Chain A
Amino acid sequence: MASIDIDAPGTSQLFIGNEAIARGALEAGIGFAAAYPGTPSSEILGSLAAVAKKSGIYAEWSVNEKVAVEAAAGASFAGIRALAAMKQNGINVVSDFLANVVMSGTGKAGLVLISCDDPSAISSSNEQDTRPIAKWLDIPLVEPGDFQEAKDMTKWLFDLSEELGTLCMLRSVTRIAHARGNVKLGGLPRKEHKAYFEQLHDLKRVTPTTFMPVPSSIRHSFLHMKMDRAREKFELSPFNRYVGPDKAGLLIVTCGSCWLYSQDAVKALKLDDKVGILKLGTLWPLPEKFVAEYLNKSQNILVVEEIDPFLERSIMEMIANLPPSSPHPTFYGKRSGHLNAYGELNPDMVIKAIANILHISYQSRDIEYGRKAEAATKSYVPGRTLTFCPGCPHRATFWAIKNALKLDGRNGLVTGDIGCYSMALGPAGFFQLRTMHCMGAGSGVANGLGKLGQFGFNQPVLAVIGDSTFYHAGIPALINGIYNQSNFVLIILDNGGTAMTGFQPHPGTGMTAMGEPTKVVSMEALCRSLGARVELCDPFDFKSTTATLLEMMAEGGGAKVVIMRRECELVRSRKEKKPPYKVYVDPDKCIGEACGCDRLCTRVFQCPGLIWDKKAGKAKIDDVICTGCGVCADVCPQGAIIKEKT
Chain B
Amino acid sequence: MSAKKLNKDPLNLIITGVGGQGNVIISLIIGNAFVKEGYLVTVGETYGASQRGGPVMSQLRISTESQYSPFIPDGCADIILGMEPVETLRMLGRYGNSSVITMVNSRPIYSIDVTAGQAEYPELQSLLNTIKELSAKTWVINATAEAQKMGSPVFANAILIGALIGSGILPIDKTSVEAVLRETFLREIVTNLAAFNKGFELVK
- Which residues from chain B contact A624 at a C-beta distance below 8 Å? 107, 109, 144, 148, 153
- Give, as a whole number of angstroms, the nearest-CB distance from A557 to chain B: 35
Stretch of B41-49, B164-172, B193-201 at the chain-chain interface: B41-49
Task: Given A14-B41, A180-B42, A500-B49, verify A611-B113 contact (CB < 8 Å).
Answer: no
- Which residues from chain B contact A39 at a C-beta distance below 8 Å? 47-49
Q: Is the CB of A373 within 8 A of B96?
A: yes
Stretch of A90-98, A258-266, A437-445, A526-534 at the chain-chain interface: A258-266
- Which residues from chain A contact B18 at a C-beta distance below 8 Å? 384
- Give, as a whole number of angstroms, the nearest-CB distance from B147 to chain A: 9
We find that the number of chain A residues with CB closer than 8 angstroms to chain B is 70
Chain A positions 427-457 with a Cβ under 8 Å from a chain B Cβ: 427-428
- In the complex, what distance in Å separates the CA atom of A606 from the CA atom of B118? 12
- Which residues from chain B contact A372 at a C-beta distance below 8 Å? 133-134
- Which residues from chain B contact A12 at a C-beta distance below 8 Å? 35
Q: Is the CB of B93 within 8 A of A384?
A: no
Q: Is the CB of A263 within 8 A of B116?
A: no
Chain B positions 37-70 with a Cβ under 8 Å from a chain A Cβ: 40-55, 66-70
Q: Is the CB of A347 within 8 A of B71?
A: yes
Q: Is the CB of B43 within 8 A of A377?
A: no
User: Is A599 on the interface with B (CB-CB < 8 A)?
Assistant: yes
> In the complex, which residue of chain B has the Cβ closest to the Cβ of A180?
B43
> In the complex, which residue of chain B has the Cβ closest to the Cβ of A268?
B73
Chain A positions 355-414 with a Cβ under 8 Å from a chain B Cβ: 364-366, 369-370, 372-374, 376-378, 380-389
Q: Is the CB of A387 within 8 A of B75?
A: no
Q: Is the CB of A181 within 8 A of B47?
A: no
Q: Is the CB of B117 within 8 A of A603?
A: yes
- Which residues from chain B contact A268 at a C-beta distance below 8 Å? 73, 76
- Give, as a whole number of angstroms, the nearest-CB distance from B92 to chain A: 5
**Which positions in B face A, CB cutoff 8 Å?**
18, 20, 27-28, 31-32, 35, 40-55, 66-71, 73-76, 86, 89-90, 92-94, 96-98, 107, 109-122, 127, 130, 133-134, 144, 148, 153, 180, 183-184
Given contacts A385-B53, A624-B153, 12 further A-B contacts (CB under 8 A): A1-B180, A147-B42, A179-B70, A180-B27, A181-B67, A182-B40, A365-B96, A372-B134, A381-B93, A387-B112, A501-B49, A603-B115
Q: Name 12 A/B residue pairs within 8 A (Cβ), A-sorted.
A: A1-B180, A148-B67, A179-B43, A180-B43, A260-B70, A346-B71, A364-B75, A369-B97, A381-B93, A383-B113, A388-B52, A608-B109
**Which positions in A face B, CB cutoff 8 Å?**
1, 12-14, 39-40, 122-123, 146-148, 174-175, 178-182, 257, 260-261, 263-264, 268, 346-348, 351, 364-366, 369-370, 372-374, 376-378, 380-389, 420, 422-423, 427-428, 499-502, 599, 602-604, 606, 608, 610-612, 622, 624-625
